[in-house]
Amino acid sequence: MKVSVIVPVFNRAAMIGGALRSILREAAHAELDIIVIDDGSTDDSAAVVEALVPAHPQIRLFRQSNRGVTAARNAGLARLPADADAVTFLDSDDAWAPGRLADLALLAAAPDAAFCYGRMAIVAALDAETLAPDPADVVATLRGVHLGVALFRPWLLARLGGFDESYRQSEDLDFLMRAFECRVPHVLSERVAMYYRRHPGNMTGRRDEARRDFARALHGSMRRRRADPSLGSIAEVIDMGDLARRGFR
């Protein structure tokens, strides 16, 4: 299968190389197409990516002026190849867990499924070489709001119409809720697909903005489902059980 991975990056020179290496180590399991959108970085992010391209031509780098992560994701969608079998995302400060593409087997076994939705581990740190967390650094594992745990069929992405660029944050929540509202067949995986790295530069650290857009996305889904009761449930978008058990806020 051919898997396109959209990686937006903005000033993550210290992390983007690790993110891309975590994808590349899965190359034996699928034909990879890695679409990196440099969203106006002012550091060496683009240079780090360019240094990998000669040895890894499956990486395609595109640059644009700074327009935010939502616009960068849409720029990636606009560059999907016509022959992609599945599409996913990875943020430039995160990493795929080993064996991430094993979930392709779930999609292959369910040809009518529009997407597969897995789990992630929230980690305090990743080893620079192995890209693995120390067990003591795993904050929680959960099925949470992250595009990186999903594998989408391209036809669903076309149906959803991309990301709403009026969001600064929670564009991923809005997108995932619209996917579940479609009532399309999907499969849930218990596999940890990716490591979400907590660090001072996380966008979600901008708490007022994060809370506002999170509430706006939830309210938008409630409005849509109230107006059209045939829309599907969004209950599977988030399973925060492990976070709650650990007292995480």
% of the chain beyond a pLDDT of 90: 84
Q: Name the residue among 107, 89, 244, 237 with its Cα closest to residue 185.
A: 107
CA distances from 170 to 12, 61, 73, 109 (A): 20, 25, 13, 31
User: What does the pLDDT read at residue 244?
Assistant: 45
Q: What is the pLDDT of residue 124?
A: 93
Mean pLDDT of the chain: 92
- What tens digit of pLDDT does each residue of 199-220 get? 766 555 567 888 999 999 999 9
Q: Which two tokens stand for residue 204?
A: 């979600």
pTM for the complete prediction? 0.91
Backbone angles phi, psi at 67, to 5 degrees: -130, 0
**Digit-coded pLDDT (tens) for 157-185:** 999 999 999 998 999 999 999 999 999 99
- Mean pLDDT across the stretch 130-153? 91
CATH code, domain with 69: 3.90.550.10
Domain count, the chain: 1
Give the structural domain span for 145.
Answer: 2-245
Question: Angle formed by the axes of helices 171-181 and 69-77, to 10°?
Answer: 50
Q: Which amino acid is at 71?
A: A
